[in-house]
Structure 1
Amino acid sequence: MYLGRKAIPLISALALSASAFAAQAETDLKFALDWRYEGPAAGFLLAEDMGFFAEEGLNVTIDTGTGSVNTIPRVASGLYDMGFGDMNSLIKFLDADPAQPVTGVAMVYDKPTFAIVGRKSLGITEDPKSVEGKTLGAPPPDGAFAQWPIFQEVAGIDTSTVTVESIGFPVREPMLANGDVDGVFGFAFSVILNLKAQGTPEEDIVNILMADHGLELYGNAILANETFAAENPEAVTGFLRAVIKGFAAAIEDPAAGAAAVVARDATLDPAVEEERLQMAIDMNINTPWAQENGMGGIDAARLDASFEALKAPMGLTGAVGPADVFDSSFLPAAEERMLP
């Protein structure tokens, strides 16, 4: 039916109104990474670039971080709605103040990437006890350094002979490359490749991955501000579904993942970031457990064991338990979380 020329303004107004409603219906979500734009962040960035967030009705802002420990208070304070941080540091954070509104909602690093990286020429070997009598550089906000109290116990390290020097992230690899310290704490895929970029020969680099020496903990997880999650449960689930798709895409095409990272920071080397991403996929993300059960979930018994392992070294009071630090109710269905 022809409505006549007078109807045109009405139709236009209705169209604008519908458009405005659609824009209002899109949920804004602020997300904090644990660190800079590097290869392992590819899953988050591809979720944005490939339109997976948009498909979920989300307008996501992704910011860099300053360490996997520092992400936790940023999310708890509401500065960020969600973030990427260390699960073990979250346990300690909530044990100190259970009222803080932050929880884990999806596991990403099923096997933690915490490491002490040293140099053979400085006396470090694959035996954790080789750090005895040595000087180790430790950035205070680093997730790997946060595990030092428990790792020294499970690995039987005599810490009375170890000197730990507080250093900043920017000088960590240069100091090790120059021999100013014998080893450093950090995420393996970050330190190793950054050290190679400093000119250290690959054959001189030693990676003491804590998970291979008795530290059976979880690594970085996606965190959510509990107030935001309670008010926007579908947005949280949609975010997780989009990110899992993003990581699946990165696993299938690591070069595309590296390109997404370099698009945010042109100073990066695509080949280096692809190698870093592949290391994270193989070592931490696409583990046998994740292959069998899908990305994002946890083994309840393993998380229980983490609390026991962390209790004495971290001085936990028992104020919180596993249900207080991880909420699996926001996860998409298992079939939507399977990795290639």
Structure 2
Amino acid sequence: MFNRYISTAFAASMAVIGATGAASAETDMPFALDWKFEGPAAPYFLAVDSGLFADADLSVEISEGKGSLDAIPKVATGAYPVGFADINSLMRFIDQNPGAPVTAVMMVYDKPPFAVVGRKSLGIETPKDLEGKVLGAPPPDGAWAQFPIFAAENDLDMDAITVEPVGFPTREPMLAQEEVDAVTGFSFSSTLNLKRLGVAEDDLSVILMADNGVELYGNAVIVNTDFASENPEAVTAFLGAIAGGWKAAIADPEAAIEALLERNPAADAELETERLQMAIDDNVLTDYVAENGIGGVDADRMAAAIEQTKSVYEFTSEPDASLYFDDSYLPGADARMLK
């Protein structure tokens, strides 16, 4: 049950949340990211530095994460009111923890960056090439979590693939050193990390799961539903600022990276600019988002994603899309247009 996730962090965070009610001029909304301070996080820092959160009477401190599943229990326990996480993993968490006060409220990666990244020199160019090879996969990785769907859609023999559990810090170095033949990860993370490690770009094969039968959505802003019900206007304002941050980053990626470098001075500006642009082009500014604005989901596609998840995961209760995504906190479409 969900109670096993309750910790002292819950009591402390509820005290913070309770102190930021209507009587307060500013609402504290610490934001738990999925990953390190890299290019795709830059729009959130640009939103901070350009005053988008402050203008909405929000105080937002951004914390890095340890994978695309990491923020889910943080938000569910109330340690953070908002976070950024893989919606597919959120479905499973809610199924395994009925009543957990957490849901997604804004889709950001309309096309998920889940990928298998391999090296052509090691014989990896198509999904079938993984058979007979060694695949490095971090257990908390969002792409690895969806690999069974990818494998089923591409008729892969899992018994013919040697899966090597690896840590996030060692994932790309192991591929660079040819200790594994391919890895699971986010396309913009693994690809550029490997380039930084000296692997030639023309030796890399990036197999996007979304281009190979996987119909899922990707990472979304998630919220503690107890917090949201008590602070609906703050949540809507937060999402509006998130949309504004992405719009500003698309218009001026260099400014976004400058905001990132303020928090991560050791980052390579050129590489992180490329990483941000990959996320924009491949995952955020899709045709659907260009037409409808960032944040929403298509009901039919969401239903298809749930059905696809059911093909590899046995839900304990009948899945209900309304438990996983709530669009009622989104600002109007005009406020979410990115161009």
The residue that corresponds to 1:3 in the other structure is none
The residue that corresponds to 1:297 in the other structure is 296
Query: Paired residues, what number?
Result: 319
Distance 2:149 2:110 in 1: 18
The residue that corresponds to 1:268 in the other structure is 267
1:89 positional shift? 0.4
Distance 1:267 1:158 in 2: 42
1:255 positional shift? 1.1
1:70 maps to a residue whose letter is D
Secondary structure of the corresponding residue to residue 206 of structure 1: strand
2:200 maps to a residue whose letter is P
Secondary structure of the corresponding residue to residue 314 of structure 1: coil
Secondary structure of the corresponding residue to residue 185 of structure 1: strand
1:280 and 2:247 aligned: no
The residue that corresponds to 1:58 in the other structure is 58
The residue that corresponds to 1:165 in the other structure is 164
Q: Which protein has the larger Cα radius of gyration, Structure 1 or Structure 2?
A: 1
Secondary structure of the corresponding residue to residue 295 of structure 2: coil
Distance 2:94 2:162 in 1: 29
1:244 maps to a residue whose letter is A
Secondary structure of the corresponding residue to residue 111 of structure 1: coil
2:63 maps to a residue whose letter is D
Q: Is the 8 A contact 2:306 2:319 kept in 1?
A: no
1:22 positional shift? 11
1:82 positional shift? 0.3
Distance 1:189 1:298 in 2: 22
1:250 positional shift? 0.4
Judged with a 3 Å threshold, the aligned counterparts in structure 2 of structure 1 residues 203 and 78 are, in CA distance, closer, same or farther, namely same
The residue that corresponds to 1:150 in the other structure is 149
The residue that corresponds to 2:99 in the other structure is 99
1:55 maps to a residue whose letter is D
The residue that corresponds to 2:209 in the other structure is 210
Q: CA RMSD in A?
A: 1.3
% same residue: 55
1:202-245 CA-to-partner distances (Å, cap 9, x unmatched) read 11111000000010110000000011111111110000000100
Secondary structure of the corresponding residue to residue 29 of structure 2: strand
Q: Is the 8 A contact 1:311 1:317 kept in 2?
A: no
Distance 1:43 1:33 in 2: 12
1:236-292 CA-to-partner distances (Å, cap 9, x unmatched) read 000000010000000001111111111111110111000000000000000000001
1:78 maps to a residue whose letter is G
Q: What does 1:105-124 align with in structure 2 at a 5 Å threshold?
A: 105-124=105-124
Q: Is the 8 A contact 1:139 1:169 kept in 2?
A: yes
Secondary structure of the corresponding residue to residue 100 of structure 2: coil
4+ residue segments displaced more than 6 Å: none
Secondary structure of the corresponding residue to residue 79 of structure 1: coil
1:24-76 CA-to-partner distances (Å, cap 9, x unmatched) read 31001111000000101112111101000001100011100010112111110
Q: Is the 8 A contact 1:31 1:83 kept in 2?
A: yes
TM-score by structure 1 length?
Answer: 0.92
TM-score by structure 2 length?
Answer: 0.92
